[in-house]
Structure 1
């Protein structure tokens, strides 16, 4: 009977190991690229952990308290033994602690032995205070999911896909898509230029992904959203090699939904749009020196092509785009000895895209076809990085790791027009820009056939620099010390980022025909090499108050320093304090019921993009001309031009001269931060099923943004003895526009960084004499403060049976406030950290409401069933409610400051009770939501028994070709305040249509 009870306990432990962590886990006090093994045994026992496939072995002595811990272990399969006894298998995942107890004569304790066989799911980690999802390569391969990090992250509860304007990015816990951090093997791979990109690791080389959706410890910072932590595959003593091909043919794609006006008029026929994608990879891994030196290498090449056409009411060119992705990955591990490990990670994620532009012809039904070739835009993104990491197990209780990495990321473009002109911008502000200028025919319909038809170089309306790239140098040291009941960790993280950036109109000029005989000329150029220096210190204490209760305290200090193109500091936040508190209670002491909670403060730095235009030299001018003809060289530029006197002006105080760094930000600028609170539990319900629930509340307490409101500055100047003769404004009664001379000196920035809702102090030159005045502006005069809250209740579960696993979650969430955060999905604005949200107080009227990432209901289910040893099927279901809809319009009798119909104001002429100024405020998100979306993906895999290692698989995404509208036109008025019933609330995007992906793979 005793043996049966012991067997039952061990069986239960294995099932416990197969449940739980995938939706709540991630241990406290773990390095972001490794895991740990902990447990209890008799004091003085010797515990040995080995990984025979990698020649790793380490032995430590159990302390007087009966506990032991192996820290900073590379992920993988291990065996643990006590005093040389029978070894027990255990799996170590990134950021987790796996528990193996050897306490004599305690069958209950034996029930907590972590035994993971297939590694499809993971154990409840009772030492965790975080909200974490871990998915291994084996799990991901069994379910139909796109092969990129974001798509995997979107399987976790609390994540939703962000607006398509920002690419394939996820929103975590109501935060904007620009507030996340991304890591690979401990190295930060986030693109800090705008925080809207990250290194695209060759997907075949990823061993597992950890998604932190909240409650993460002080080791992680610079994020108010979430963290995606990826770990690469690595070599072992066994030689492995293989290859695969993924192919998504255009012939099996469903047709994307056509676009219409509200009255049924066709806007865009998308039946001619098409795309295909193929990726091939080969890899090999093994030992270069047995038990000591290992390598994993991967070569991957991808190519995709797509065709996209405009609509008959839109006009413009159509495109044929081709992208090539020659990528590689190398991971090397050197076991110098049992106490010292050295790792090298290097890779390239280069992507080269050629986009051909053509004129578009339309038949009588509005169906598009390809016309004359206009030119090609050439762009390149991605780059290479190299990381070295050292781990030293210096004593049984002290571990030290050090990391140094260097990475580059290109993002450049140039274009060549059909007439042979090369369009390329050197970044020299004020210099000539060769090439074909941008020309747009904006005359009234009575003066041309179709309004808005482009001519000239619309293929590259905005040129980046051909040398544009971002460079990151990161250094960090992490130490861990087990001191009795306290596990202490601390470290320093230095992360310096440099960006070479700039933009210009194609050919340096944007000509816009206003009416017959009149044309407007605009010149825009920006360019600089800017820097962001970031340093952080942290310390953590995980205190085992009892055998079943752990308390966590983390402290973090961040310093962010932003420098302009001259290397001058224009904004610096020193020692931003971010405390973290948490607890984990193993209620029954057998890892089957865990209650956990945490409270933490999280901060976000300013991105590098803020400095390029806002703090460095830029040129933006405008002038009107008469013209007598149009060039016949294919550019469409005006000829016979003569300037109209008195029409030249600089816009936004951008006149090609570097700005005084002391004027860019309020001298009282405080760091932004967000507070977060989480409380939850996780319970093993049966031998096969676990369930968890957690409640989450996030509150943005302070933000950093920019304001462009000059009125408080003028009010201060008038109250302090300055007059109109000092060149401040045109006349005392004219408050709609300042005098141009006030914007012609580097001491008067048009827009300035500040904390919305707080008093500010600016140093500005109001009269152009070179002397900076000290100008206080009260919070009341500056306008509304920044508000954003997120509250959610998440239910998550997973089940594991012999041939079947199923995981899922349901989230009820609300995201409310007057700012989304780093970006502005309402209008697709990607100026991270400097959106138009707070440029003028009028833009905040009605801005409080449900935010773009508010998805009230989200249901996620995914799993796999092995029908036989050869056949299996997988599924992935997403059911989600729509996003809020707004009504944007003009601002009635008040000045619009050049924002046209960008206000939360519609139906002019109906007075508002609060403002009563001839306009109606329509609160954010009050105009309903987009429809619910339902997407089911399925796959089938075949692994023939006669050819071990060979596998065929077919994934079908959006099986039923569901195409609910995903975004609406939210402009209820045009810029002049006229209602737009034909277009308001019409669908502008739909769900992606059905697509099919084939795979063949051979691995040996």
Structure 2
């Protein structure tokens, strides 16, 4: 507690110190949702022009922001919604200056250096200034993916965050769509959309995880920024990379688009490693197979004014229809489909060790040829083509309201529904029975309200609220004809190992009635103020995650057979109501005792559902200080704290299970510099140091709650 108080006192001291500095506009800008314009105003002789008025107008919405140059002729206008702007600069004794088509991107400052002429009429400069390729005012390593790149770069699946792989320091993390920055686990990244948390706390991935196609439509995303390293204290809850996305909005001009993408396996080549083996009596030579996979992705959006310059709407709809049937097969088809001829051996007693054929073993267990053929027919019915689809629907309405010249309110809602019968197993050929693929479903809902208030020309406040629900659940398919089931009509998982390997029945990890059902609530506030050569930012955020996890591993039991003949023996005994099992073991004294033929059985017991709550707190202070015209220092301090729940089933024999440790001293200093070598924005030397804290993922907390020894 002492360390927390020290951190809060330190932030208070920063506020007090920064508050006494004289105000101007020259500093740098960084934001999770907005951009900025800045530059220097001079006259024809090269002398700086102080106290010049600068106005930035959003050409899409008509909203305006204003500022003035300081004693060094520099200006900075922050918290501009990404888009296209016009810039007007006026000063006493000079002709006006106007630049059009100025692009503002998220998290960046677009530079505008103006020269004012001494003459009576306004000079209009037709300019198409883009955000800088190289940022010379920040220590962090960032890359921006704008709408042009999103619309034109090729991508498989339309998951917009995959474009992050095209940025420096980013590589795939495993085969399920995660991204690693600087070699750090993809579970330690942070993903935000319009400033709101876009992470699932339970598995530390994007909402919806990576089995779905995407949780937010690519057509809803205007642009996003990838922060790879040395990022400011504004960004927390991450030791890897930070991805900030902003969505599209309506403007004064009615606009929209429609799209349809079709991808088919008919257009692809054969994979030489994707093969199947025909059933006997056909030759057991592997032959190439090209699994069917046809995907339609279609939708559109529209945006425009409700009240010109005042109220705007945007709506996007996105749907996917995918048909990708799978093939259920055994790992060794030749052995699995091999026929069995039941025949009498020379002797069954005493039972010779491993000298009997499968047919002789079955004969000695009292199983006939007809019963054997019945069991083989059932096993063969487990294989074949499995119908499998992956369909989803996304809806995204958004309202932007310029309440007045000083207040802007944004309201948005994202709805995603994913349904994939037999879609848990996604491989082309799966070594499971037809009824053992598992059904996958996801429901995602996110609502964000964001209010930006310009308190004075040098003081801006942003308040944000978000509610989200990420509900993921999976269940089993129904049993096939002839499959033994329990009194509840459910087949346990059955594994036949050895040379004829296959797994069928209800998978041992199902049902997952909630895995998880996660509700999140976020409150955040950021205050920005320009003072002297500084841009200060102070902020606080709190996120409440409530997780329900309803799943019991092996709740329906799991049998393992080391050989095919052992399963056949138990199968025949079950479906024919044998009075006793077919296998025997020797009891003490040498008496043979009938026993089932499986080699192992596991059963899960106990409560199936656990729910708990975590609270994430964050405080930060950031100072971007332009100490020299070509040298900028980025200084900050952040405090993160994750409040863990209390244990629910403590083990009295293990005192350590009665409570979780609480780490309250997560103070993360950030310090960096950016030096413009030539002053022309062509070359920059940057460096930085920071301490970053990733959160403890909630699945780890869940394991600690349930696995108490």
Which bracket does the TM-score occupy, shorter chain normalised? 0.7 to 0.9
Q: Higher strand proportion, which one? A: 1
Shift of 1:343: 0.7
Contact 2:473 2:512 in 1 (8 A): yes
SS, match of residue 178 in structure 1: helix
1:93 correspondence with 2:105: yes
Displacement of 1:381 in angstroms is: 1.4
Q: Partners in 2 of 1:491 and 1:232 — Cα distance?
A: 22
- Does residue 328 of structure 1 match 2:343? no
User: Structure 1 residue 138 and structure 2 residue 138: aligned?
Assistant: no
Name the SS of the counterpart of 1:140 in structure 2.
helix
Deviation at 1:225, TM superposition (A): 1.4
Where does residue 175 of structure 1 map in the other structure?
184
Distance in 2, matches of 1:356 and 1:102, equals 58
Do 1:564 and 1:612's aligned partners in 2 also have CA atoms closer than 8 Å?
no
CA contact (8 A) 1:91 1:115 kept: no
Name the stretch that deviates more: 375-384 or 150-159: 375-384
User: Which residue in 1 is equivalent to 2:664?
Assistant: 574
Alignment of 1:276 with 2:276, yes or no, is no
| Further displaced range: 243-252 or 562-571 | 562-571
Unaligned regions of 5+ residues in structure 1, if any?
A: 1-26, 107-112, 361-366, 424-431, 617-653, 655-748, 751-1004
- Measured after TM superposition, the shift of residue 578 of structure 1 is 0.8
* 1:523 CA displacement: 2.0
How far is 1:250 from its partner?
2.1
Q: For 1:133 and 1:592, how far apart are their aligned partners in 2?
A: 16
Counterparts of 2:502 and 2:704 in 1: how far apart (Å)?
32
**8 Å CA contact 2:325, 2:389 repeated in 1:** no
TM-score under structure 1 length normalisation: 0.52
Alpha-carbon spacing, 1:581–1:435, altered in 2? closer, same or farther (3 Å): farther
Verify: 1:150 aligned to 2:127, yes or no: no
> Residue 601 of structure 2 is aligned with which of 517, 521, 545?
521
Tell me the alpha carbon deviations over residues 579-621 of structure 1, each in whole angstroms, 9 at most, x when there is no partner.
Answer: 11111112222222222111111111111111223213xxxxx
8 A contact 2:192–2:243 mirrored in 1: yes
Q: Secondary structure at the match of 2:199?
A: coil
1:440 aligns with 2:494: yes
1:290-689 pair list within 5 angstroms: 290-309=308-327, 312-314=330-332, 317=383, 319-355=386-422, 374=435, 377-418=438-479, 434-442=488-496, 445=498, 450-458=499-507, 461-466=509-514, 468-505=516-553, 508-513=556-561, 516=583, 517-519=596-598, 520-524=600-604, 526-563=608-645, 566=648, 570-616=660-706
CA distance in 1, matches of 2:424, 2:198: 33
1:194 counterpart residue number = 203
Distance 1:368 1:475 in 2: 46
**Structure 2 residue ranges without an equivalent (≥5):** 1-26, 42-48, 119-124, 209-214, 277-282, 334-381, 567-582, 584-595, 650-657
Deviation at 1:563, TM superposition (A): 1.6
Contact map agreement 1:28 1:129 (CA 8 A) in 2: no
Structure 2 SS opposite 1:87: strand
- Aligned equivalents of 2:441, 2:430: Cα separation in 1: 28
Q: Aligned partners of 1:421 and 1:333: how far apart in 2?
A: 59
Q: Is the 8 A contact 2:317 2:395 kept in 1?
A: yes
Give the secondary structure class of the aligned counterpart of 1:174.
coil
- The equivalences for 1:780-859 within 5 A come to none
CA distance in 2 between counterparts of 1:190 and 1:433 reads 41
Normalised by the size of structure 2, how large is the TM-score? 0.73
**Counterpart check, 1:242 vs 2:294:** no
1:784 is matched with: none
In the TM superposition, residue 130 of structure 1 has moved relative to its aligned partner by 1.3
Aligned equivalents of 1:433, 1:30: Cα separation in 2 = 62
| Aligned with 2:74 (options 67, 87, 91) | 67
Q: Distance in 2 between matches of 1:357 and 1:292?
A: 47
Instruction: State how far apart, in whole Å, the 2-side matches of 1:422 and 1:532 are.
Output: 43
Any idea what the Cα deviations from partners look like across 1:460-500, whole Å, max 9, x if unmatched? Answer: 75321158411111111001110011111110011221211
Q: Does 1:43 align with 2:123?
A: no
Deviation at 1:196, TM superposition (A): 2.9
State how far apart, in whole Å, the 1-side matches of 2:430 and 2:472 are. 31
Shift of 1:527: 2.7
| Aligned counterpart, 2:358 | none
When the two structures are aligned, how many residues end up with a matched partner? Answer: 559
Q: Which is greater in Rg?
A: 2
8 Å contact kept, 1:583–1:598:
yes
CA contact (8 A) 1:490 1:538 kept: yes
CA distance in structure 2 between the aligned counterparts of 1:246 and 1:134, rounded to whole angstroms = 25
CA distance in 2, matches of 1:505, 1:29: 50
Q: What is the distance in 2 between the residues matched to 1:138 and 1:422?
A: 55
| Per-residue deviation, 1:502 | 3.3
SS for the counterpart of 1:611 is helix
Any idea what SS the aligned residue of 1:489 has?
Answer: strand
Q: CA deviation at 1:153?
A: 0.6
Distance 2:646 2:284 in 1: 48
| Deviation at residue 308 of structure 1 after TM alignment | 2.8
Within 2, Cα distance between the matches of 1:421 and 1:498?
42
Whole-Å separation in 2 of the counterparts to 1:132 and 1:477? 23
- Which residue of structure 2 lines up, in the alignment, with residue 82 of structure 1? 89
The structure-2 alpha-carbon separation of the partners of 1:411 and 1:53, relative to structure 1 and needing over 3 Å to count, comes to: same
CA distance in 2, matches of 1:494, 1:533: 7
Q: More relative contact order in 1 or in 2 (CA 8 Å, sep 6+)?
A: 2
User: Contact conserved, 1:564 with 1:611, CA < 8 A, in 2?
Assistant: no
Q: Is the 8 A contact 1:433 1:508 kept in 2?
A: no
Deviating above 4 A after TM superposition, structure 1's stretches of 4 or more consecutive aligned residues are 103-106, 265-270, 314-318, 367-373, 419-423, 432-435, 564-569
Task: Go from structure 1 to structure 2 and tell me whether the alpha carbon gap of 1:114 and 1:543 turns closer, same or farther (over 3 Å shift).
Answer: farther
Partner of 2:60, secondary structure, is helix
Give the 3 Å change call, closer, same or farther, for CA 35–276 of structure 1 in structure 2. Answer: same
Cα RMSD for the two superposed structures: 3.4
Structure 2 residue matching 1:204: 3-state secondary structure = helix
CA distance in 2, matches of 1:551, 1:88: 29
For residue 193 of structure 1, give the secondary structure of its aligned residue in structure 2: coil
SS at match of 1:274: coil
Question: In 2, are the aligned partners of 1:434 and 1:508 still within 8 Å (CA)?
Answer: no
CA distance in 2, matches of 1:173, 1:553: 22
Q: Distance in 2 between matches of 1:156 and 1:385?
A: 27
Distance 1:441 1:336, change over 3 A: closer
